[in-house]
């Protein structure tokens, strides 16, 4: 036994050293060796040697959260066991012992096509997820039978290995004349000829595979499909376009193409290309808990560990594997505490410095820089065409900025979601789009702008303003807090029964700036957290990402979020040592779900906010443009100044003005005991961002607010009726195209909002970017994946439809196209 001075095995390297003496030399070389000169094998390990982790001091992290969710299943830590052939080479118990250890550790096991124990035996021993690694044989019926057996045994996913049309030339095995020993073989395959792995692969593996194999796998199984062997962003985007459910960044442990890059080096680029559309896993070279955190920080959702598991199996059967997984968990915990990383989800590129290849220990700290360049994602490569994406910057003058040198938010999937949607819209201009949530512009006439502008100027003149003051009201910056605060306050009093002094109003550049100001002011330290209703409007989560603000999700039910769920979230955050400061919610016809809070729920929410001393960020832009009587706003019910009201006039008046506001009447105590309003603090922040909201836009909006009340009422009624009719037409068309019996058989359902712009459909397939691309390309209809709106994952089988921008005829045509897509995607 090797290891420390007392013989204890304390690291994965200790287990490797012990296994080298426990295994036959030929078996050791088979398990340990790589292809060719083993450059890629060495590069995988060397890449992690170039990592440096940056601590965040005084972070107060005592019990970090290691858990993560992948494909709907919780993993106790972001680690799984990679697929490897013949665990029985390491120990006769083979994969059954590995499965026992994986279950006790709460991590999944990916079982090789060439497993030494049967799927049924492994499943009987397992208590954590099992995935099947698939090699596609020339005889597809062999592959189909393997998949069917695994599915029957309870396996939960398929991992297609795509980097092995033949096995790499492994010189150790050739020099040893290695043959699989008697008593070891693929327990789930019939026949013989497995003694020489390379020769068998050359004879039986299908070297003609192309991306259509994904469709074939879908035709024989309903299990999620991941693709293993991705080392380029281009192949990652091709895989997404083919409809995969996940990627494994892998070079086969250095056993295939010798000279391929280390997986850690290509991970950031691939993660950026994927943009959160599916889970990204990594294998190759992981030997420490710190390696796990580094990979997650650079874009992986989890890692798969290979050879160390077999080392542990050889040394100590299932207990050895359990010990190795325990070492990784302990090291990961320690690394997260020392780097101030409270959860796996909080690990980002700012945590890592990665030296270029060749700069390992001994080259000095000067060799370390931020993580490598993250290229813009290439969204897909159309048949017969050039890849769609941005031009290369090669040859361009300038400093050659790398995205990794920029703030981590620019690589955050939240900020990429709408970019992808816009790209799809521009690429398929003839498709009917249920995606944009913008108002219908058929109500507007260009000349109206001048009418509104003149009305405001007359209002100023009637109020005694001189010609010079009127000129300044249009041509100068104006007050940072806004020059139409009085009119906004009057409008709120008249339309929303919100009675606040004008001094509590800050006029903003749309409601988006109002969100930034409120979040920046309220979240003051690293342990403060913003809670949001989930699914949630991406504007608020995007603002949080840009501002480095932690976000906690409160799951919605069919009728919106519940106060019970919010209270549980508040208590959970406090138990983690974090301070919930505010809760963001859209109480009326929310974006994206369309849910509306009941009056009793609104009152309960206000009571809860007072009880737990938090603020509520209320965003309610769809109320006045929805038909029928509306429930009172939270702000109108607020008696303790718990509500910061975020307002938008884009839906109510017109979007091009980009005028919003925030009502912040909370009292703020200064260090000298003086009192002011939160609005004053927001104004200070705004002075450093936009300085002021466009005076011309404010003037036009003011003219609209000054319109005759009866005229304004008629306009609002007309607007609300239009959007209400659009919602009714959409629901009617859905019911006609998908009658109740048919949609029940398909597993399709939708909610029926009473107003607003949005409704949600549940569908029997993954509604991801690949499905969206197919919908636009083949069926001419665009929608929004609901997964965009879940801060902590979810909504994979839901889509959002916006009804605001289409005519009734376009809605009817679009629902027909959408129905045909749903049926085709569901295989009906």
Question: Which one, of 152, 15, 155, 144, lies nearest residue 99 by Cα?
Answer: 155
Name the maximum alpha-carbon separation found in the chain: 102
Predicted pLDDT at 390: 36
Q: Rounded mean pLDDT of 519-531?
A: 93
Q: Are 510 and 650 in contact (CB under 8 A)?
A: yes
Predicted pLDDT at 379: 35
Q: Is 229 left (phi over 0), alpha (psi -120 to 50) or beta?
A: left
Predicted pLDDT at 576: 85
Active site residues: 252
Predicted pLDDT at 376: 37
Q: Is the pLDDT of residue 363 over 70?
A: no
Predicted pLDDT at 205: 83
Q: Is the pLDDT of residue 640 over 90?
A: yes
Predicted pLDDT at 620: 87
- Residues of the chain with pLDDT > 90: what percent? 62
pLDDT tens-digit series, residues 586-624: 999 999 988 999 999 999 999 999 999 999 999 988 888
The secondary structure of residue 205, as a DSSP letter, is B
Predicted pLDDT at 41: 93
Q: Are 96 and 125 in contact (CB under 8 A)?
A: yes
Predicted pLDDT at 349: 80
The whole-angstrom separation of Cα 398 and Cα 138 is: 51
Average pLDDT of the chain is 87
pTM of the model: 0.58
If one compares 664 and 390, the residue with the highest pLDDT of the two is: 664
The whole-angstrom separation of Cα 172 and Cα 770 is: 41
pLDDT interval class at 769 (50, 70, 90): confident
Q: Are 821 and 764 in contact (CB under 8 A)?
A: no
Residue 464: how many other CB atoms lie within 10 Å: 7
Per the document, the length of the chain is 828
Q: Does an H or E element contain 117, and which?
A: none
Q: Angle 233-242/769-779 helices, nearest 10 degrees?
A: 60
Q: Decide the pairing of beta strands 749-750 and 758-762.
A: antiparallel
Residue 448: how many other CB atoms lie within 10 Å: 14
pLDDT interval class at 62 (50, 70, 90): confident
Predicted pLDDT at 362: 41
pLDDT interval class at 711 (50, 70, 90): confident
pLDDT interval class at 429 (50, 70, 90): confident
Question: Which two structure tokens, joined as six digits, stand for 327?
Answer: 């070492």
Q: Which long-range contacts (CB under 8 A, 24 or more apart) does 6-10 make?
A: 9/315, 9/323, 10/327
Predicted pLDDT at 665: 96
Predicted pLDDT at 373: 38
DSSP track, 488-551: HHHHHHHHH-----GGGEEEESHHHHHHHHHHHHH--STTEEEEEEES--HHHHHHHHHTT--E
If one compares 374 and 708, the residue with the highest pLDDT of the two is: 708
Predicted pLDDT at 4: 52
Task: Return all residues near 357 (Cβ < 8 A) that are at least 6 apart.
Answer: 43, 46, 47, 50, 262, 265
Q: Are 224 and 245 in contact (CB under 8 A)?
A: yes
Residue 1: how many other CB atoms lie within 10 Å: 12
Predicted pLDDT at 267: 95
Question: Which two structure tokens, joined as six digits, stand for 713?
Answer: 């009422």
Q: Rounded mean pLDDT of 150-168?
A: 92
pLDDT interval class at 377 (50, 70, 90): very low
pLDDT tens-digit series, residues 334-348: 999 999 999 998 898
Which residues is 661 bridged to in the sheet?
507, 647
Q: Is the pLDDT of residue 653 over 90?
A: no
Predicted pLDDT at 571: 94
Give burial (CB, 10 Å; 0-12/13-18/19+) of 672: exposed
What are the two backbone dihedrals, phi and then psi, of residue 721, each rounded to the nearest 5 degrees? -65, -40
Q: Is the pLDDT of residue 380 over 60?
A: no
Question: Which two structure tokens, joined as six digits, stand for 201?
Answer: 């692969």
Question: Which two structure tokens, joined as six digits, stand for 410?
Answer: 């620019």
Task: Return all residues near 476 (Cβ < 8 A) that are at least 6 apart.
Answer: 695
Predicted pLDDT at 410: 66
pLDDT tens-digit series, residues 501-512: 999 999 999 999
Q: Is 327 left (phi over 0), alpha (psi -120 to 50) or beta?
A: alpha
Q: Are 474 and 694 in contact (CB under 8 A)?
A: no
Cα 282 to the center of its chain, rounded Å: 17
pLDDT interval class at 191 (50, 70, 90): confident
Cα 269 to the center of its chain, rounded Å: 16
Helices and strands counted in the chain (H then E): 28, 28
Q: Is the pLDDT of residue 366 over 70?
A: no
Q: Is the pLDDT of residue 5 over 60?
A: no
Q: Are 380 and 388 in contact (CB under 8 A)?
A: yes
Q: Does an H or E element contain 272, and which?
A: helix 263-274
């Amino acid at each position: 036994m090797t290891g420390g001075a007392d013989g204890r095995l304390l690291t994965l390297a200790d287990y490797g050293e012990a296994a080298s003496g426990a295994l036959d030399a030929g078996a050791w070389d088979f398990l340990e060796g790589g292809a060719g000169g083993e450059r890629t094998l060495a590069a995988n390990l060397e890449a992690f040697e170039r990592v440096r982790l940056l601590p965040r001091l005084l972070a107060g992290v005592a019990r970090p959260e290691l858990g993560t969710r992948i494909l709907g299943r919780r993993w106790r830590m972001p680690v799984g066991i990679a697929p490897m052939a013949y665990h029985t080479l390491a120990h006769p118990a083979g994969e059954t012992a590995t499965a026992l250890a994986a279950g006790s550790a709460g991590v999944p096991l990916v079982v090789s096509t060439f497993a030494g124990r049967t799927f049924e035996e492994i499943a009987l021993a397992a208590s954590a997820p099992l995935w099947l690694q698939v090699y596609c044989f020339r005889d597809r019926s062999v592959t189909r039978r393997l998949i069917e057996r695994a599915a029957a045994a309870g396996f939960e996913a398929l991992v297609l290995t795509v980097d092995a049309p033949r096995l790499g030339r492994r010189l150790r095995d050739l020099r040893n004349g290695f043959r699989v020993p008697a008593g070891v073989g693929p327990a789930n395959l019939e026949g013989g000829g497995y003694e020489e792995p390379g020769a068998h692969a050359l004879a039986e593996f299908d070297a003609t595979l192309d991306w259509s194999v994904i469709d074939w796998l879908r035709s024989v199984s309903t299990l999620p499909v991941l693709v293993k062997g991705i080392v380029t962003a281009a192949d990652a985007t091709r895989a997404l376009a083919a409809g995969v459910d996940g990627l494994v960044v892998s070079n086969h442990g250095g056993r295939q193409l010798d000279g391929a890059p280390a997986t850690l080096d290509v991970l950031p680029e691939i993660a950026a290309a994927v943009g959160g559309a599916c889970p990204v896993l990594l294998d190759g070279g992981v030997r420490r808990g710190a390696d796990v955190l580094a990979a997650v920080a650079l874009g992986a959702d989890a890692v798969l560990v290979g050879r160390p598991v077999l080392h542990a199996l050889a040394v100590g059967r299932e207990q050895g594997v359990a010990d190795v997984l325990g070492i990784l968990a302990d090291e990961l915990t320690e690394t997260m505490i020392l780097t101030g990383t409270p959860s796996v989800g909080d690990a980002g590129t700012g945590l890592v410095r990665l030296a270029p290849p060749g700069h390992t220990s001994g080259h000095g700290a000067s060799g370390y820089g931020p993580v490598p360049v993250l290229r813009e994602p290439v969204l897909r490569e159309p048949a017969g065409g050039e890849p769609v994406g941005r031009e290369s910057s090669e040859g361009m003058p300038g400093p050659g900025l790398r995205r990794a040198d920029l703030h981590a938010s620019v690589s955050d999937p939240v900020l990429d979601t709408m970019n992808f949607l816009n790209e799809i819209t521009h690429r398929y201009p003839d498709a009917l789009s249920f995606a944009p949530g913008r108002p219908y512009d058929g109500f507007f006439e260009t000349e109206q702008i001048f009418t509104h502008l003149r009305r405001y100027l007359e209002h100023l003149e009637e109020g005694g303003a001189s010609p010079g003051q009127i000129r300044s009201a249009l041509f100068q910056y104006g007050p940072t807090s806004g020059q139409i605060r009085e009119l906004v306050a009057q409008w709120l009093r008249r339309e929303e029964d919100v009675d606040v002094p004008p001094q509590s109003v800050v006029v903003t550049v749309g409601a988006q700036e109002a969100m930034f100001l409120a979040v920046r002011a309220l979240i003051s330290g690293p342990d403060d957290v913003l809670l949001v209703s989930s699914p949630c409007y991406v504007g608020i989560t995007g603002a949080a990402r840009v501002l480095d603000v932690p976000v906690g999700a409160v799951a919605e039910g069919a009728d919106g979020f519940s106060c019970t769920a919010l209270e549980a979230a508040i208590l959970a955050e406090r138990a983690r040592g974090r301070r919930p400061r505010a809760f963001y919610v859209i109480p009326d016809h929310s974006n994206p779900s369309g849910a509306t809070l009941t009056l009793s729920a609104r009152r309960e929410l206000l009571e809860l906010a007072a009880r737990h001393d938090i603020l509520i960020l209320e965003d309610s832009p769809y109320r006045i443009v929805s038909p029928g009587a509306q429930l009172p706003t939270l702000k109108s019910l607020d008696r303790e100044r718990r509500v910061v009201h975020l307002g938008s006039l884009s839906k109510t008046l017109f979007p091009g003005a980009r005028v919003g506001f925030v009502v912040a009447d909370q009292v703020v105590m200064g260090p000298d005991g003086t009192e002011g309003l939160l609005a004053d603090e927001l104004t200070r922040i705004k002075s450093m961002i936009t300085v002021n909201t466009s005076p011309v836009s404010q003037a036009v909006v003011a003219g609209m607010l000054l319109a005759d009340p009866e005229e304004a009422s008629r306009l609002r009624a007309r607007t609300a009726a239009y959007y209400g009719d659009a919602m009714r037409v959409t629901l009617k068309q859905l019911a006609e195209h998908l009658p109740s019996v048919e949609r029940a058989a398909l597993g399709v359902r939708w909610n029926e909002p009473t107003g607003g712009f949005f409704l949600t459909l549940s569908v029997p397939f993954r509604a991801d970017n690949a499905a969206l691309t197919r919908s636009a390309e083949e069926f001419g209809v665009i929608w929004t994946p609901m997964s965009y709106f879940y801060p902590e994952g979810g909504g994979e089988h839901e889509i959002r439809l916006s009804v605001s921008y289409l005519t009734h005829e376009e809605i009817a045509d679009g629902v027909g196209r959408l129905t045909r897509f749903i049926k085709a995607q569901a295989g009906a």
